[in-house]
Structure formats: structure tokens, C-alpha cells
Amino acid sequence: MSELTYLVTVSGPDRVGVGAELFAALASLAPAGANLSDVAQITIRNALILCGEITTSQSLSAEQVRAALLERNIVGEGINVQIEVVTNTTEVKGGRTLVTLLAPSVSAGQLHQVFAGIARSGSTCERIVHLAKNPVDCYELVIRSPRPDELRIEMSTVGRSAGLDVAVQREGLHRRSKHLVVMDADSTLLQDEVIDLLAEACGCDEAVKEITERAMAGELDFSQSLRERVTLLKGLDESVLDEVRAKVRFTPGAETLVRTLLHLGYVPAVVSGGFEQILAPLMDQIGVKYLRANTLEVLDGVLTGQVIGEIVDRPGKARALEDFALEVGVPLEQTVAVGDGANDIDMLSVAGLGIAFNAKPLVQEHADAALSVPYLDAVLYFLGISRDEIEQAKLG
């Protein structure tokens, strides 16, 4: 005898016990050959939609299914039950892809553009989770896609046109296994460019800022530009390093990001073209144990205008990420890199997930995802971490 598939949908105000009643009713149909094949639920502001799909022989009628439900007193108190035969069980083939989208506020018009792009790629949405409402609006979509590369292109295009930050990733447990998160310091973890603050102290800030901007835009070789800028600092008293460190500001959300990562068992790290003398005490302050940065040479309490050892430049940042991953015991596909400048491009490309944070277009082109909001903890949403988990981390 051929099989039938029934979709049982319970809807109405949520109340204690309704799920237990539904599954008790469906379980009572097992002797008649009914097997539970799928379950889904969503609750929005106490409005419940709970679905159970059962597959059975044609000897079990819809009336028998309804009778089993009525015996469990599900109907009533505003609760409705609908039973329908699923006549078309054709599903979109292909793997599951996660699409994370965020903005200060996500509108229905923006979601329309997203779902139109999903449809154009021949894909369907299986689930939507509202990860955060504040300080940004963030949704995570589980997409079934036969053409994931086409979906990625569509989402990138929609993101730019709709004003959304979008990340597209393969679904799987590996996502929550990205245990190493490597961040740039200046203009990423920190609001400031440290060398600019040092330049202000020696009165050469305009010259240094010009070189810095050209280097971050990819117009100059970073190593050469760093040496040129550090040369201008020659003669500064070592005490200036403490003064500058006191002025440095963390990016909004930076401390929340690190605290949450540590709470959830991730390993945060910082790789910077800046200076260890400034950064090391700051990293100790927030609990970051892994740091690689440049070291200013100091003789007799005065900066010499030189850098000691190998410069942490664009390829050096990628090597540092690889070294940290090896030390922590994490494969590269389970690493995350976050940066804003051209010297972060290699690091972003090597990581399993590269995130451009308020970055130039050149950097965004080499990243898997881009954030344009000013809150660094928004990185957590691309890892599937919800605002509730972030708030729990605050409580320890």
C-alpha cells in the first residue's frame, strides 16, 4: 500500500504543555503505522506555530489523526489544529548554507531583496533565526542551495545594493569550532592608529599620517612605510610610550568581543603592524595571551628611530596567524581573521573566515564578509553567537 504524508500544524497562543500533547497524540498513532518524519517550531511574542510531519499508510485517515489530537485536548484556548496531506514532497537539493545579514535596522524591503536573490539562485530558506536586535539587527538564514557559488554572488550583490552586511558560510559543526580569532589592532581592535599618536608627541603627525594612509590603501609597501614613519620618531623619550598607551581607545564592542570569545572557549589573538610596547599591557588588560607586533628600539631611554627584528608586515601577519593556529592546535579552516587595512589582506585570505571591518573596498574584495557597523562585537554574529549568549558572558 502506498504511503501518505500528513502535516499537522498547531497554531495559536503558546501555553505550557502544548508540545507534549501534540507528540503524545502522534505517538499514539504509531501502532497504526504512523512515523514521525519531521518537526519544526517558531514562537514570536507568544504566538506559536508547531508542525509535525508523519508518514503513514493510506489505512490511516486524516479523521483518525484529528481524533487522536482531540483526545489530547490540544484544540481550545485559542489553539487551532490543521491537518493536510502533503502531495508534493519535492525538495530543493543541495547542501545547507548559512547567510548572516545585519544592519542598524533590517527592513521588510531589505529582506525582500535578500529573498529575491535567494530565489534567483534556485535556493530556498529553511529557517530564520533573529540573533540580535541591539545594538544592531541581525538575522541568520539557513538556505538549501543547489548552486552555493551562485547564492554567494547573489548575496554579495544584494548586500551592497540593500545596505546590508552579509556573510555566506557552509553550515556545519565546524562553524562553532573556529577556535582561533585573530584581530588586527589599529583601527580594528583599537579606534586609533598608535603611530599617529606617537607622531603627535614628536610634532611630525602630518607627515606620518600621510604615509599611514597611503600604506593602508595599498599604495606603499608596508615595511618600507613603517621604517620611514619610525625614523621620524627618533629622539622621543621612552616615557611617551606610557603617555600614548593611556590615550588609546578600544573600539566599541572590542572588550565585549574578547570577553565573549574567552567565555565560550575561543582563543583571541592580535597580530599588528603596531608596537608591542604599546599593545602588550593593553592585551594583558583584556585577557589576550597571543600577540605579535613590532618592537621599537630604545637605547638609554630614547627611541632610536629603528625597529628591532623582523617587521610584522602583510605576509608577516599571515605567518603569525598560521603560527598561532599551529600553537593552539587549530586547522586553518577553523580560524577567523578580522582586519581593516591592505596589510591584513593575506591574513584574511589565509583564515577560514576573513572579515573586513570598516575596511577599504580593496580589502573587502579579499574578505569572506564585511562589517560596516561601528561595533566590533558584531563579529560574533558571523560565528552564530546570539545577543543572549553575549549578555550571559557579561555575567560570567
Active site residues: 184, 186
End-to-end CA distance of the chain: 58
Residue of 183, 93, 158 lying closest to 377 (CA atoms): 183
Looking at beta carbons, which pairs linking 273-278 to residues 24 or more positions away fall under 8 Å? 273/184, 273/186, 273/222, 273/226, 273/311, 273/312, 273/313, 273/317, 273/341, 273/343, 274/185, 274/186, 274/194, 274/195, 275/194, 275/195, 275/241, 277/241, 278/194, 278/241, 278/244, 278/245, 278/248
Non-local CB neighbours of 210 within 8 Å, separated by 6+ positions: none
Distance separating alpha carbons of residues 385 and 182, to the nearest angstrom: 17
C-alpha cell at 332: 586553518
Cα–Cα distance for residue pair 314/12, rounded to 1 Å: 56
